[in-house]
Amino acid sequence: MKAFMDEDFLLDTECARYLYHRYAEGTPILDYHCHIDPKEIAQDKKFGNITKLWLGGDHYKWRQMRSNGVEEYYITGAAPDREKFQKWAETLGRLIGNPLYHWSHLELKRYFGYDGCLNGETAEKVWQLCNEKLREPQMSAKGLIRQSGVSLICTTDDPADSLEWHKKIKEDKGFRVRVLPAWRPDKAMQIEAEGFFLYIRKLEETCGVSIRSFADLKDALSVRMDYFHNMGCRVSDHGLDYVTHTPLPEEKTEAVFQNALEGKCLGSTECAGYKTALLHFLGREYSRRGWVMQLHYGCRRNNNKAMLAALGPDTGFDCIGDYAPVSQLAGFLDGLAGEGELPKTILYSLNPNDNAAVGTLLGCFQDGSAAGKIQQGAAWWFNDHKDGMRRQMTSLANLGMLAHFVGMLTDSRSFLSYTRHEYFRRILCGLIGGWVENGEYPFDEKALEEMIKGICYRNAVNYFQFPE
The pLDDT tens digits of the residues spanning 380-393 come to: 999 999 999 999 99
Task: Assign 135 a pLDDT band (cuts: 50, 70, 90).
Answer: very high
SS3 348: strand
Q: CB atoms < 10 A from the CB of 118, how many? A: 23
SS3 180: strand
Q: Are 7 and 106 in contact (CB under 8 A)?
A: no
Residue 401 has pLDDT above 90, yes or no: yes
- 257's CB contacts (< 8 A; 6+ apart) are 191, 213, 214, 217, 274
Task: Assign 305 a pLDDT band (cuts: 50, 70, 90).
Answer: very high
Distance CA 427, CA 12 (A): 10
* Average pLDDT over all residues of the chain: 96
pLDDT of residue 180: 98
SS3 237: strand
Residue 409 has pLDDT above 80, yes or no: yes
Q: Are 466 and 234 in contact (CB under 8 A)?
A: yes
Residue 236 has pLDDT above 80, yes or no: yes
pLDDT of residue 424: 98
- In angstroms, the Cα distances linking 308 to 195, 318, 431 are 16, 10, 39
User: Checking phi first, is residue 416 left (phi over 0); if not, alpha (psi -120 to 50) or beta?
Assistant: alpha
Residue 243 has pLDDT above 90, yes or no: no
Distance CA 41, CA 413 (A): 12
Residue 468 has pLDDT above 90, yes or no: no
User: What mean pLDDT comes out for the span 303-307?
Assistant: 96
Q: Are 395 and 377 in contact (CB under 8 A)?
A: no
Buried b (16+ CB within 10 A) or exposed e, 200-223: bebbbebbeeebeebebbbebbbb
Q: Are 211 and 199 in contact (CB under 8 A)?
A: no
Distance CA 91, CA 119 (A): 7
Give the model confidence (pLDDT) of 317-360 as tens digits: 999 998 778 889 999 999 999 999 999 999 999 999 999 999 99
pTM over 0.85: yes
**Range of weakest confidence among 119-133, 310-324, 436-450:** 310-324
Q: In what order do the strands lie in the sheet with 29-31?
A: 29-31, 150-154, 178-180
Task: Assign 137 a pLDDT band (cuts: 50, 70, 90).
Answer: very high
pLDDT of residue 242: 75
pLDDT of residue 245: 76
**Range of weakest confidence among 108-122, 139-153, 229-243:** 229-243
User: What mean pLDDT comes out for the span 365-373?
Assistant: 94
- 135's CB contacts (< 8 A; 6+ apart) are none
Please give the share of the chain, as a percent, with pLDDT higher than 90: 93
Distance CA 426, CA 7 (A): 10
Q: Return the bridge partners of 183, or none.
A: 157, 236
**Range of weakest confidence among 84-88, 220-224, 246-250:** 246-250
Residue 374 has pLDDT above 80, yes or no: yes
Give the model confidence (pLDDT) of 28-67 as tens digits: 999 999 999 999 999 999 999 999 999 988 999 999 999 9
- In angstroms, the Cα distances linking 59 to 66, 100, 189, 312 are 10, 11, 25, 12
